[in-house]
Every structure is written in structure tokens, then in C-alpha cells.
Amino acid sequence: MKKSNYIWLVLLVVGTVLVLLRHNNIISWGDSAATYRNEKGLIFGTMYNITYEHDESLKLDIDNELKRFDASLSMFNESSIISRINRNEDVIVDSLFSKVFKMAMTVSAITDGCFDITVAPLVNAWGFGFTEETAPSQAKIDSILQIVGWQKVQFTPEGKVEKQDPRIMLDCSAIAKGFAVDVIADLLRKKGVKNYMVDIGGEVDVAGVNSSGGLWRIGISKPDDDPESRNQDLQTILEISDKGIATSGNYRNFYYKDGMKYAHTIDPKTGHPVQHSILSSTVIAKECIIADAFATAFMVMGLERAKVLLEKNHDIEAYFIYSDEKGNYQTFMTEGMKEYVTE
């Protein structure tokens, strides 16, 4: 065989191998034999997308951990711990529920109740939970507010949730996805994974580098009304590693009635959907559970109150997209966020 033909044959074989590796979600580079895998699936009514460097698939371990999480904190699971608590059954919580509950109470205290996991009855009343009711009367809102308030629930020494009123219901959806991200990230680290991106429903944790050896690139979507998530236009991109990132916004989950727009973020104090100028709140923190909770809290607080809180809490960074008086998009970011933002 001629030398030139031999070279072309080698190149053809190498190219075919690379195509097969990519087709099977495995990407290998160089002498390090770095293998980046991608796992996808469903959890909590949303998608998970996990990319990581490891010499074997960890999908079974990931799914088992998510099932454990689902059995504790999913309101879609009738036998979960949170569902049983909402039905006032006698149940001792597990470590997963305990972590979420304690973090929720901490963020509630810091934000003066703008973050509140007892908001579930209001979410249902406005048609964003498990009911089809919409735009409740003020009388009904006032009635529900009597059983809403983070200080009306507490842990007992026996590891149970104690309610001041049996009608109180918990909704951890504004913090649970972020914690699920942390749980899977912790699993990957225990398996020796140093480079990964864990994405569950848009809440993200990243570590190390991507398959190209660079920082992970996380997009922040433009907050256009997009209930079916068809719009993929990005406002900006973050280049980041070793952090948790979460975004909350009212541009996906909303409805119109009698010419009024009602968004899914409910103010626990007024009982009404928030009407602040912030359209999208992105937070970076050391843990995704923290980022998730504060991203929601800032949506409730509004721009000016959020700025005041951020000045006192330097462990979190934030990027807000808001609407000015003329309806134009404007942005605000903390000084530390500028380190991650790239156009």
C-alpha cells in the first residue's frame, strides 16, 4: 500500500471513531483519555441534563439519587415526605428534607419573609399549583393569608414538622431543584468527578472545566413572554466554574385574565402575584440551593430592596433584567457578577 493511501486510511479510521464516540455522548481528547459523558432524563416534571468527565457512565447512580430525592421533596409524589406532611400524617423527616427546611427558614429570616415555603395555598388559589382556580377574591386571599407564614412551622426535637394550623401546606419548589443539583454534584464528587455541569430545570452547578478545557458557559435567557419555552434568545452568557447558578422569572409561567397578567411568583405578605419591575433574577452562590432560594426572594422583593440586601450579603452575586418606565429592558448586576459576564 502506498504511504499516502495508508495515511488516508488512518485518518478515516480515526474520524469514524470520533463520530461514534460523539454519537454515544462520549468525547475523548488527548493522552489524558478524558471522557465527557452526557446524561438526560426527567425529574419533578422537568428535564435534567448532566455532563461530566468519567471513565464510566454514572446514570444509574444519578437516577437512584434523584429517586431518593423525589421520595422526600416532590409534591408530584403522593407518598413523598412533603406530601405526607401536607396531609398531616405522622412522619419523621429525612436528611434531605431537613436540609431544605432549615435553609428555607434561614433565607426567610434574611429576606423578611419574602421567601416562604408555606405559600402553597396561595399558589394553588391563583391556579399555579394543583388546582384550576384563577384570580381569587380578596376575601379568599385574606382567609388564606391566615395560614401562610414561615414562622408558623418549626422542627420538633423528634425530627418532625410542627404546624400552628393543620391547614398549612408546604411548597419547596422554589428551593428543591437547586438542592437536587447540589445533591447530584455531591454524588459526582464522591465518584471522583472533578469536571461537571449539573442542570436540573435550569438550575445549575458547575465545577472544573468543559470538554474543551475552558470555563463552563451558562446562558441567561431574555425574559420575553414564552410559556412554551420556544425562545432561545440569550441576554448574556456567564463563564464560570465551581459555583451554583439559579434563575427565577415570570416570563414562562403566567396567564392573562380580563386583560391582566398574573405571574406565578406570589408575594407571601400580600397574597397577590408580584408586580415588580424585575423580569428575571439570576443568582450565583457557593451552593445552588442558596442561589435558587435568593433568586425567588429577589423576584418578590423588587429591585430596590434586592439591592439593599445584596449590599449586606457579599457571598451571593446577582444579575437582574428589569423593565424601565418605558417598558425597555435594563440590567443591574453586582460588582462581583461582572467577573462572570461575557457578551
pLDDT in tens, 259-276: 444 456 889 999 888 877
My answer on whether 94 and 235 are in the same domain is: yes
Q: Would you give the end-to-end CA distance of the chain in angstroms?
A: 52
For residue 43, what pLDDT is reported?
A: 84
Mean pLDDT of the chain: 85
pLDDT at residue 109 above 90?
A: yes
My answer on whether 158 and 57 are in the same domain is: yes
210-219, 231-240, 332-341: which range is least confident on average?
A: 231-240
Per the DSSP assignment, residues forming a β-bridge with 216 are 240
My answer on whether 20 and 85 are in the same domain is: no
For residue 326, what pLDDT is reported?
A: 84
For residue 30, what pLDDT is reported?
A: 34
For residue 125, what pLDDT is reported?
A: 84
My answer on whether 30 and 113 are in the same domain is: no
Q: Taking residues 215-223, what's their average pLDDT?
A: 92
Q: What are phi and psi of 287, to 5 degrees?
A: -125, 145
- Domain ranges, residue 84: 36-342
My answer on whether 26 and 157 are in the same domain is: no
My answer on whether 141 and 271 are in the same domain is: yes
pTM: 0.84
Per-residue confidence at 23, pLDDT binned at 50, 70, 90? very low
Q: How many domains does the chain have?
A: 2
My answer on whether 7 and 82 are in the same domain is: no
For residue 181, what pLDDT is reported?
A: 98
Q: Taking residues 130-145, what's their average pLDDT?
A: 79
My answer on whether 111 and 161 are in the same domain is: yes
My answer on whether 113 and 26 are in the same domain is: no
29-33, 156-160, 210-214, 260-264: which range is least confident on average?
A: 29-33
My answer on whether 17 and 101 are in the same domain is: no
My answer on whether 141 and 20 are in the same domain is: no
- CATH code: domain of residue 153: 3.10.520.10
My answer on whether 63 and 179 are in the same domain is: yes
For residue 213, what pLDDT is reported?
A: 96
